[in-house]
Amino acid sequence: MSGDPIVVVGGFMSWPWRYKPLARALREVSGAPVYVVPMTPLDWMMGAFRGFGQLVFAIGRTVDRALLETGAERVALVGHSAGGIACRVYIGGDHPYGGRRYSGHRRVSRLVTLGCPHVVADKRGLATIAEVNRLFPGALHKPAGIEYVSVVGVAADGSKSFRTRRRYERVTDDGRVSGDGVIPVSCAFLPGSERIMLDGVFHHVGLGRWYGSDPETVALWWYGESSGQAPLAEDGSTR
């Protein structure tokens, strides 16, 4: 695995300090320096009205710091939940976003997303994600050498829990599916990326063992060791 510095981008309405345990575990597993983007709930609230542009600037500043302090040429990005969508905007492409053109792909070697809602239903509240999917579809820079990895936990069945089903239906039409308790398996796989499912892993620490709970769990997705057993249909959903 590359020794590139790692930049962690937290999820919607999260505080940076919540990712310190994940950063410590990732540092132990990878041996690489780990940086957490200092995005706060206020940044996310502004992003909800203005799009991901403000959040992308924060990612860019942290990436620049990581490269300056380590002397590396590229970083690995780890985006949790909606943070993975912001990472895709930073990586950018041929189209401008919010009036600006981002070219983070020149500074990124790998994107790992954890419980990220890449594929969502056509709902008004998900228009920002739909726009990102339109402008920067799938593993856009995979041919240029960026590695894309989509990780999702298989820990909660929406067909057995009304509360879980309601969470899933924020991003999908039918919540009677499996996922990490917040994001269904069918939504978490970016087209063209490597797919990893992890048995018994939840979306965040409030639900139980999550993606950043300990070095053992982190090692599963960092080194690409899928433990999920649910077979996938062609559309990425669990059967």
Largest CA distance in the chain: 50
* pLDDT digits 0-9 by tens, 162-201: 999 999 999 999 999 999 999 999 999 999 999 999 999 9
210 within 8 A of 203, measured Cβ to Cβ? yes
Backbone angles phi, psi at 42, to 5 degrees: -65, -40
Instruction: Give the integer Cα–Cα distance in Å for 123 and 133.
Output: 14
What pLDDT shows up at residue 173? Answer: 95
- What would the two tokens of residue 103 be? 């070219």
Q: What is the DSSP letter of 105?
A: G
Give yes or no for residue 3 having a pLDDT over 60.
yes
Domains present along the chain, CATH in parentheses: 6-222 (3.40.50.1820)
Give residue 51's identity as a one-letter amino acid code: G
Give yes or no for residue 237 having a pLDDT over 50.
no
Closest CA to 3 of 97, 98, 84, 74: 74
7 within 8 A of 59, measured Cβ to Cβ? yes
Q: 159-180 as b/e, with b when 16 or more CB fall inside 10 Å?
A: eeeeebbebbbbbbeebebbbb
Average predicted confidence (pLDDT) for the chain: 90
Of the pLDDT bands very low, low, confident and very high (cuts 50, 70, 90), residue 235 is very low
Of the pLDDT bands very low, low, confident and very high (cuts 50, 70, 90), residue 143 is very high
DSSP 3-state of 195: strand
Q: What is the DSSP letter of 17?
A: G
What pLDDT shows up at residue 229? Answer: 47
Instruction: Give the integer Cα–Cα distance in Å for 3 and 10.
Output: 21
